[in-house]
Amino acid sequence: MAFNFTNQSTLHAGIIMDGNGRWALGRGLPRAAGHRAGVATVERVVEAAPGAGIGVLTLFAFSSDNWRRPPAEVDALMRMLSSYLEKEVGRCVEKGVRLQAIGRRDRLAPGLCRAIAQAEAATRSGTGLWLRIAIDYSGRDAILAAARGLANLSRESLELALGPPVDLLIRTGGEHRLSDFLLWESAYAELVFSQRMWPDFGPEDLEAAVREFRGRVRRFGGIPAPTPRRQEAWLD
pLDDT digit string (tens) for 157-172?
Answer: 999 999 999 999 999 9
Element (H, E) at 199: none
What residues contact residue 198 under an 8 Å CB cut-off, 6+ apart? 17, 18, 19, 20, 23, 38, 41, 172, 173
Tens of pLDDT along 11-36?
999 999 999 999 999 999 999 999 99
Tens of pLDDT along 187-226?
999 999 999 999 999 999 999 999 999 998 888 877 766 6
Give domain limits for the chain. Answer: 11-217
Question: What number does CATH give the domain 11-217?
Answer: 3.40.1180.10
Q: Is the pLDDT of residue 61 over 60?
A: yes
CA distance 205 to 19: 15
Mean pLDDT along residues 77-90:
94
pTM comes to: 0.90
Query: Percent of the chain scored above 70 by pLDDT?
Result: 91
CB 67 within 8 A of CB 107: yes
200 is known as an active-site residue: no
Task: Report the amino acid identity of residue 80.
Answer: M
pLDDT at site 89: 95
66 is known as an active-site residue: yes
CA distance 56 to 58: 7
Question: Residues 7, 20, 65, 66: which is the catalytic one?
Answer: 66
What residues contact residue 76 under an 8 Å CB cut-off, 6+ apart? 32, 35
CA distance 201 to 81: 19
Mean pLDDT for the chain? Answer: 92
Question: Residues 4, 7, 18, 141: which is the catalytic one?
Answer: 18
- Torsion, Cα 108 180 193 29, to 10 degrees, reads 40
